[in-house]
């Protein structure tokens, strides 16, 4: 005769395993549906050559959202938007940028002026920080 017992010696391990599994799965699901807008600026860095004071580059800005949004793209210091989109999940904007210093791009809700995403285009004058040394500092040759 088999006797069914509710309290098994394996029950605590089973409950703990299920609990850890649920804790691991729930944050991933919540993070993937949090409504965050992804904003990508390409390229995101301009290194000025010696003697240059202005960076001129073609910049492509892409964004995407998990659900449809009405958004406008702004460049720091400019009152008018570069581009606007109505009830869509993604957008793209390409323009030639001339900058002496860093430029901030912001995606703003068309209705409420709330910033939903922001990325910078960096202008760097000191190119030596990004160059690789040809030899090690301890080398004599």
Question: pLDDT (tens digit, 0 to 9) for every residue of the chain, 141 residues total?
Answer: 555 445 455 544 443 344 333 333 333 232 234 568 999 999 999 998 888 889 999 999 999 999 999 999 999 889 999 999 999 999 999 999 999 999 999 999 988 789 999 999 999 986 555 556 666 667 665
Give Cα 3 distance to the centre of its chain: 58
Whole-number Å distance between alpha carbons of 107 and 88: 13
Element (H, E) at 83: strand 83-99
How do 55-75 and 83-99 pair as beta strands? antiparallel
**Structure confidence at residue 74 (pLDDT):** 95
Residue 129: count other Cβ atoms within 10 Å of its Cβ: 8
**Structure confidence at residue 106 (pLDDT):** 95
- The CATH code that applies to domain 38-130 is 2.60.40.2470
pTM exceeds 0.85, yes or no:
no
Whole-number Å distance between alpha carbons of 132 and 141: 17
**Structure confidence at residue 98 (pLDDT):** 92
Whole-number Å distance between alpha carbons of 70 and 113: 11
Alpha-carbon separation of residue 101 from 80, 85, 110, 120 (angstroms): 20, 28, 27, 11
Where exactly are the structural domains of the chain? 38-130
């Amino acid at each position: 005769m088999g006797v069914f017992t509710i309290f098994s010696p394996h029950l605590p391990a089973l409950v703990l395993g299920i609990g850890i599994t649920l804790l691991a799965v729930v944050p991933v699901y919540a993070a993937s549906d949090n409504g965050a807008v992804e904003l990508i600026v390409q390229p995101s860095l301009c290194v000025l050559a010696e003697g240059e004071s202005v960076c001129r580059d073609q910049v492509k800005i892409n964004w995407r959202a998990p659900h449809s949004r009405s958004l406008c793209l702004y460049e720091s210091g400019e009152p008018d938007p570069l581009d606007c989109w109505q009830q869509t999940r993604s957008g793209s904007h390409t323009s030639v940028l001339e900058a002496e210093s860093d430029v901030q791009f912001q995606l703003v809700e068309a209705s409420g002026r709330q910033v939903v995403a922001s990325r910078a285009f960096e202008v760097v004058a000191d190119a030596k920080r990004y160059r690789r040394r040809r030899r090690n500092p301890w080398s004599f040759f």
